[in-house]
Structure 1
C-alpha cells in the first residue's frame, strides 16, 4: 500500500483526481489545501448560486449579464471554497492531526506551513473579491457580509452540537448573493431558497460527519452526528422534508402558471434523490457515508434544468 506521507496525497481525496495526476508537483500541496482534489464541496457551494440565478430568471426573465453571473459564481465558488478550506485547516490543524481521515492534509502532514497557508488564503480571497466587484452593489455588500459566517464556522464545533447549521449559513449564502446580483435587490422568494439550502446542508453534512464520529468523540469535537448517535433517521428525514418544502415555497413565490409546475418537477427529482440516499445510508459505514455525501452534487443539479426552463413556459 502506498504511504500517503511519501506521495503527499490526502486520504479522502477522489481516487485519480486531477491534482495528483496532472498538477505541477510544486502546486499540489496548495491545491490540496484548497480541496481541489475533492471537488464535491465546490459543487455544493456553487449549486445554491445556480438555483438562485435560474429561479430569479424564472421570476423576471433571463438577462445577458446572467452568463457572466453564472461564470463568476463558478470561479468564485472554487476560490472561496478554497479560501474557506484553507482557513478551516489553519484553525483545525491540531484536530486534523489527531483524526485518521484528516492527518494527511497539507498542514498537519507538514507539506504547508501555517504562514504559507495564510498567504494562500489571502491570495484566493483577493481574486474572488475582484470577481465580486463586477456584480451589482447589493451583491457586493452581501459578499462582504458572507465573510462573517465563513470566519466563525471552524470554531462552531468547539461550542455547539450544531456546527452544521453554521456551515449551512455560510455555504448557501450564494443563493442570496446570486439572486441579488440578478435582480438588484433581494426579493422574498430568495429567503426560503436560502433556508432550504441550510436544511439540505444539515442533511448531507450530518452524513459526512458520521465518518469521524469515533475520532471526534475522542478529541472532543462536536457535530450533529455525535448529537444524533445511532438514531439519525428521524433527523435526516426532517432535514430532507424541510429542504424540499422550503425549495417548493421559493418556487411558488418566484413562478406562476405552467412554469411553476415545470420547476416543481425539479423539486420532486431533488426529493427523490434525497430519499434514495436515505434508503442507502448505513451511518456505521464511513465509505457509504462519503459516497452519499458526494452524491449530493447530483441531487443539487437535478432541479437546475427545470428551474431554467420555467422562464420559457
Structure 2
C-alpha cells in the first residue's frame, strides 16, 4: 500500500496562511510577495472590514425604508475598498513592524522580514493600493468621502498602538469598524445615532476576536515588550471576552432598535434576530476558547467572517416585511 504524498509547502508561504490559498497556488511568482504583504492569502481581514460596511448600509436601508440599484454599487464599492484598504493598512503595519515581526516566530515569514519585498517597494505598493481605494471612494456620497479620508488617521496610528498602550485591540477596532459609519453615510449622506452606536458595537466585537487572536503571540510579545489585551487580561481573558460579547450584542441591538423605530413590530423582531444570532456565534467561540491551543485560536479568529455575515439575512427579512 503506497503512502499518500504530502503537499509541498509553497516557497515563501506565510506561517498563518492556509496551505492551499490562491496566492501560493495561482498568482504569478513575481506578485506573490506583494499579495502576501496585502494579506490576500489570508482574506479574513477583508471580511472583518467589509462586514461593518454591510451592517451600516443594511440599517440605513431599514431606517429610510428605501433600497435602490445604487445600493448594489455601495456593496461592491465597499467590498473593493475593504480589500484595497486592508491591503494598504497591512502593508503599512508590516513596514512599521518589520523589526518586531522578525523577532516573533509566527511573523518571521512575512514578506519584509523574510526578504521577499524591500521596504521601499512596500511603500510604493501601499500608496498604489490607497490611491485605487480613493478612486472608488470618490463614487460615494460627500459624507462618505469625508469619512473615508478621516479613516486614514486611525489606520496610520494603529501599528504604533502596541508600543504605548495595553489596548492596541481597541485602536484596531476604531480602524476596522469605520465601515459602519461609511456604509450608513453612503446611503443617507449623513451621520446620526444609529451608525455611532453600531460603530461602538463593532469596536467591542473587535476587542473580542482580536484578543483571541493576540493570544497566539502572548509569549513572544512578553519577551520583546509588545503590549496587547491578551497579555493584559492573562488568566482573566475569558471574563473579559464575556464582557465584550455582552456589550457587542447590547450595542448592536440598540442600533437596530433605533434604526427600526418607524417600522412594524414584526420587522423589528426579525431585525433584532441579527444581533441575537451573532451573540450565539460569539458564545460558541467563547466556549471553545483555549489560550494554549494556537491552531484553535486561529480557527476561532477566522470564524468571525461567518459571525459578521450572520445578521444580514435577518435584516433582509426585516426589510421585506
TM-score range, shorter chain: over 0.9
SS at match of 1:157: helix
Find the counterpart in structure 1 of residue 27 from structure 2: 23
Q: Which segments of structure 1 move beyond 6 Å, counting only runs of 4 or more?
A: 1-4
1:176 maps to 2:181: yes
Q: For 1:11, which of 10, 15, 22 is the aligned residue? A: 15
Find the counterpart in structure 1 of residue 275 from structure 2: 267
Report how many aligned residue pairs link the two structures. Answer: 312
SS at match of 1:101: helix
Per-residue CA deviation, residues 15-74 of structure 1 (Å, 9 max, x unaligned), is 200000011111110000000000101000000000111111111121221000000000
1:254 maps to 2:262: no
- How does the TM-score come out when normalised to structure 2? 0.95
Find the counterpart in structure 1 of residue 3 from structure 2: none
Structure 1 segment 157-196 matched on structure 2, within 5 A: 157-196=162-201
Structure 1 segment 273-292 matched on structure 2, within 5 A: 273-292=281-300
SS at match of 2:109: coil
Structure 1 segment 102-181 matched on structure 2, within 5 A: 102-181=107-186
Q: For 1:36, which of 37, 40, 44 is the aligned residue? A: 40
C-alpha displacement of 1:2: 8.9
- Segments of 5+ residues of structure 1 without an aligned counterpart are none
Q: Distance in 2 between matches of 1:312 and 1:2?
A: 47
1:230 maps to 2:235: yes
Find the counterpart in structure 2 of residue 53 from structure 1: 57
C-alpha displacement of 1:3: 9.2
1:101 maps to 2:109: no
1:304 maps to 2:312: yes
Per-residue CA deviation, residues 173-215 of structure 1 (Å, 9 max, x unaligned), is 0100110010010121111100000000000000000000000
Q: Distance in 2 between matches of 1:297 and 1:116?
A: 30
Per-residue CA deviation, residues 283-309 of structure 1 (Å, 9 max, x unaligned), is 111111100000011111110111122
- How does the TM-score come out when normalised to structure 1? 0.98
- Segments of 5+ residues of structure 2 without an aligned counterpart are 1-5
Per-residue CA deviation, residues 229-284 of structure 1 (Å, 9 max, x unaligned), is 12201100000100000000000000132211111112111000000000011011
Aligned alpha-carbon RMSD (Å): 1.2
Q: Distance in 2 between matches of 1:266 and 1:169?
A: 22
C-alpha displacement of 1:78: 0.3
Q: Distance in 2 between matches of 1:128 and 1:228?
A: 36
Per-residue CA deviation, residues 123-162 of structure 1 (Å, 9 max, x unaligned), is 0000000000001110000000000000000000000000
Q: Distance in 1 between matches of 2:54 and 2:316?
A: 9
